[in-house]
Amino acid sequence: MQLNTIKDDTLTTQIIHTKQFKTSQIHIRFIGALNEKTITARSLMLAMIKAKNKAYPTRKALSKALESHYDMHYHTQALKLGKKHINQFTFGVVNPRFISDITYKDNILTMIKTCLHDVDFDEKTLKEEKQFLKDYFDAEYSNKSRYAYKRFKDHLFQGHPFNIHPLGLEEHIDLVTLDDIHQAYESMMRDDSVVISFTGDTEAFIDEHTLQQALSLKGQALPKEFFYKHTFTPMTPIKETMDITQDRLLMAYDTKTYYADKDYFIALVFNSLFGDHSDSLLFKTVREQHSLAYYIQATYSPFSGLITIMSGMEEKNIQKAIQMIDAVLQTIKENTFDEHVFAISKTAIKQAVKQSYDNPTSLSLKALRKALFNTPFEEDYVLNNIEQVSREDVVGFAKNLTQILIYHLGRVTDE
């Protein structure tokens, strides 16, 4: 596996040469500002590009065209990375060495260029995509775990870009006009940084120079400021109620450690030991030994610097669970956790890392992080850094955590 990168003032192109996949993936990422005033139009614009274009003026026509290109995969996604918003286009294609048609490669590149440049925005499609987006937010309300997490973030990230949903703001959907969509597209093509990524067998397909020329894209230089290093102030515990059958408990801890910081790998190992999987201390203690929760997991976000615990349980177990979580954290601070559990935690991360290098989308994201943060792409670099994390590193890390918020979404009672 080899990564080649070409970077200039207008474009970054990355080629990940590997023969391990029968298909190849092309990602085009437009990186812009995470702005709550424009993000809803930006998200809807992305969905409208995916729906149809001038060459294929209906959803059905575009779908048939993709099928005719040996079932070419086409997907778009709105994402966040720190305080930046990313509109991502993904194209999955069969490796040309399996196709006898000599025009196949050129046809694929023409199709991608058509999707990006020959946009066709109209009121009917905008109305449809607005309804789809409303349905998404309605589903978020119906899923009580997702809703609890949303409310948790509303309290936790006040004034923080992490509280901006990558798909936009529900209350802004009806306000978006067709003119806003056109402006969002023009801004994306003119003002965003652009990263093109190819993952696959380049000998059978393409090189970075041809890819650049074929897609006719230009952008701005890559941004340098991704992190919003917020000073979190510990908050009073919050309880809200609604008609639910299972209470949700969420807790946030500030690590003050961000992606590529010197303690980044320590944060990964700590979170794995603390609560990232079924062999972690929280799962074993809170769920299995004491049966206080239906589920419990801790997640580390390297772009907010926070560790979040999410759990579902009966209301009567909430306070016991909080005390047990504190006790588990204290076990780590006092360095009294079992060595076998510590070894399992490091093994779990390393296994996840190895699996990620067998996934083309994951490889593309790793290459993107290298371009943005100048972090090594190689698997051995990550595995070696994880292996070097010691018990003492994890203990010291745990002692510096600050609990920021305890949020409880409970059931409505008659009392």
3-state SS assignment for residue 318: helix
Q: Which of 273, 268, 250 is nearest to 258 (CA)?
A: 268
CA pair distance 25, 42, nearest whole angstrom: 24
Would you tell me the crossing angle of helices 339-356 and 360-373 to the nearest 10 degrees? 100
**What pLDDT score was predicted for residue 133?**
98
CA pair distance 355, 364, nearest whole angstrom: 14
Q: How far apart are the first and last CA of the chain?
A: 63
DSSP assignment of 52-115 equals --SSS-SHHHHHHHHHHTTS-EEEEEEEEETTEEEEEEEEEEE-GGG---TTHHHHHHHHHHHH
CA pair distance 330, 170, nearest whole angstrom: 41
**What pLDDT score was predicted for residue 415?**
54
Q: Which of 55, 58, 90 is nearest to 74 (CA)?
A: 90
Could you tell me if 151 and 409 are in contact, meaning their C-beta atoms sit under 8 angstroms apart?
yes
The domain made up of 238-411 has a fold known as Cytochrome Bc1 Complex; Chain A, domain 1 (3.30.830)
Per-residue CA distances from 158 to 3, 125, 133, 154, 163 (Å): 39, 33, 23, 6, 7
Residue 209 contacts by C-beta under 8 Å, 6 or more apart in sequence?
6
The owner of tokens 């000998």 is 203
What is the per-residue burial (b if ≥16 Cβ within 10 Å, else e) of 221-258? ebbeebbbebebeeeeebeeeeebebbbbbbbbbbebb
Single-letter amino acid code for the residue at 150: K
Mean pLDDT, 10 residues at a time, over the chain (415 residues)? 87 91 93 95 98 98 96 96 94 87 89 97 98 95 93 92 92 98 98 95 73 88 86 96 94 96 97 96 96 97 96 97 98 97 96 95 95 94 98 98 98 72
Could you tell me if 247 and 318 are in contact, meaning their C-beta atoms sit under 8 angstroms apart?
yes
Single-letter amino acid code for the residue at 117: H
Could you tell me if 3 and 14 are in contact, meaning their C-beta atoms sit under 8 angstroms apart?
yes
Q: Which of 235, 267, 228, 80 is nearest to 156 (CA)?
A: 235
Provide the Cα torsion 185, 366, 282, 339; round to 10°.
-170
DSSP H helical ranges for 192-260: 208-215
Residue 192 contacts by C-beta under 8 Å, 6 or more apart in sequence?
30, 31, 32, 87, 219, 220
**What pLDDT score was predicted for residue 228?**
84
Q: If you classify domain 2-215 with CATH, what class do you get?
A: alpha beta
For the chain, state the CA radius of gyration. 23
Pairing of strands 247-254, 402-411: antiparallel
CA pair distance 329, 325, nearest whole angstrom: 6
**Residue spans per domain, the chain:** 2-215, 238-411
How crowded is residue 346: how many other Cβ atoms within 10 Å of its Cβ? 19
Q: What angle do CA 30, 22, 376 make, to 5 degrees?
A: 50
Equal fold, 2-215 vs 238-411: yes
